[in-house]
Amino acid sequence: MTNVTRISCELSFEVLLCECTFVEHAFKIKISIKPRTSRVNNKSDILEKEITKTYGGINVKVGHLLVNRLLPNKYIKSVGPFVFLDHLYPTLQQPKTHKPANGDFAHPHRGISTFTYVFSGEMEHFDSHGNHGIAGAGGAHWMNAGSGIQHDDRIPPLFQQAGGLLHVLQFWINLPAKNKKDEPEYMNIQPADISELLLPDDAGKLRILIGNFGVSSSPVKSSSRQFIYHIRLNPKSAFTLQTKINFEYAAFVPTDEVKINNIFFGKSELIIFEQDEHDIVLTNYNISEVDIVIFGGEPYTEAIVAEGPFVMNSGSEICDAYRDFHLGKYGKINYLIKEINKN
């Protein structure tokens, strides 16, 4: 995995900007096993990818929301271009009087793209380039921060008033040096925009959140070879994912337990695989569906220097990012854009 000079991170779903460094006593497990052959659903022998590490994350309180921070950590700094992963636990939000967006929780980014995926509930996006969108269950927000932008991700008013189950992932994707000064962009991705493939033998479905799978692809722009797949396995089913040589792979299991390469994982666990050509075998022994997120891509080979909300290639670029932010070059968010877009 890529070496990182220093990294401290933030995430704002609704409330306070949260910066953290990583604590020594965080829950973590290291596993090293040798590849082996196994038989799934009585099919041909499959050589399974080696699991090198697993990590259970650390709890971070973001306002009233409890988040599990999984990337980066002491042992795993990145997976392909992915340098950050937060899991907002499935949490029942009680109905309440909505709090209007007022900029208290807006924050900047430069040098990355962000991808916020909604398992259930809704998330609302505002940014300083005049973009606004609401993503519901199965939808997502993608934002290329590029040369610099301010944004605000929060629970939208109608969901605050109605309440319900909120369950969200957020990734940060490191941009190549040549793309870190690109013009910022935003996409509001609705569930119908995402390519969905049926797995063999009625095993479930695979949604292509980022990247491609066979001839199908995601609408999200990519600056490098990268992917995120959301796999939903049917009860008593199995699926084997063939991997690409020289790609880095990770799996994330958000809730119910699933067997991955003959080991059970669940309850917000991150699994890291050896960089070899072998397969990832997923087996669901439950009598209900289970979710697995597989992500990764080609290794990020450039220097990584991260500080707060910025991920760049040198310390001087970090200084420039802070300077430009304080000079107001990232712009301001117009929260009235929501009403303007309605007219």
What's the pLDDT tens digit per position in 170-182? Answer: 999 999 999 999 9
- pLDDT confidence tier of residue 336, bands split at 50, 70 and 90: confident
**Can you give the pLDDT at residue 338?**
62
Rounded Cα distance, 27 and 15, in Å: 25
**Can you give the pLDDT at residue 100?**
85
Q: Determine, yes or no, domain membership for 10.
A: no
Q: Determine, yes or no, domain membership for 166.
A: yes
Q: Are 48 and 239 in contact (CB under 8 A)?
A: no
CATH number at residue 97: 2.60.120.10
In this prediction, residues 141-160 reach a mean pLDDT of 96
- Token pair of 41 as six digits: 């659903």
Q: Determine, yes or no, domain membership for 337.
A: yes
In the chain, the percentage of residues whose pLDDT exceeds 70 is 85
In this prediction, residues 28-40 reach a mean pLDDT of 34
Q: Determine, yes or no, domain membership for 9.
A: no
Q: Which residues pair with 150 in a beta bridge?
A: 108
Size of the chain in residues: 343
- Which segments of the chain does DSSP mark as H helices, in order? 157-162, 315-326, 337-342
DSSP labels, 272-307: EE-SSS-BEEEEE-SSS-EEEEEEEES---S--EEE
User: Per-residue pLDDT tens for 5-16?
Assistant: 333 333 333 332
Give the range of the structural domain holding residue 64, as residue numbers without chain letter: 28-342
In this prediction, residues 306-320 reach a mean pLDDT of 97
**Can you give the pLDDT at residue 14?**
32
Q: What is the mean pLDDT of the chain?
A: 88
User: Per-residue pLDDT tens for 253-292?
Assistant: 999 999 999 999 999 999 999 999 899 999 999 999 999 9
Of residues 32 and 73, the one with the higher pLDDT is 73
User: Per-residue pLDDT tens for 48-64?
Assistant: 999 999 999 999 987 77
**Can you give the pLDDT at residue 64?**
77
**Can you give the pLDDT at residue 61?**
87
First to last CA, the chain: 49
Rounded Cα distance, 297 and 212, in Å: 11
- pLDDT confidence tier of residue 252, bands split at 50, 70 and 90: very high
Q: Determine, yes or no, domain membership for 165.
A: yes
Rounded Cα distance, 234 and 107, in Å: 39
User: Per-residue pLDDT tens for 106-147?
Assistant: 999 999 999 999 999 999 999 999 999 999 999 999 999 999
Query: Coil, helix or strand for 160?
Result: helix
Place of tokens 């309850």: 267
**Can you give the pLDDT at residue 337?**
64
- Inform me whether the pLDDT recorded for 101 exceeds 80: yes
Question: What pTM was computed for the model?
Answer: 0.86
Q: Determine, yes or no, domain membership for 11.
A: no
Classify residue 217 as exposed, middle or buried by CB count within 10 Å of its CB (0-12, 13-18, 19+).
middle
**Can you give the pLDDT at residue 65?**
86
Q: Determine, yes or no, domain membership for 138.
A: yes
- Inform me whether the pLDDT recorded for 226 exceeds 80: yes
- pLDDT confidence tier of residue 104, bands split at 50, 70 and 90: confident
Q: Determine, yes or no, domain membership for 34.
A: yes
Work out how many domains the chain is built from and give that number: 1
**Can you give the pLDDT at residue 330?**
97
- Inform me whether the pLDDT recorded for 41 exceeds 50: no
In the chain, the percentage of residues whose pLDDT exceeds 90 is 80
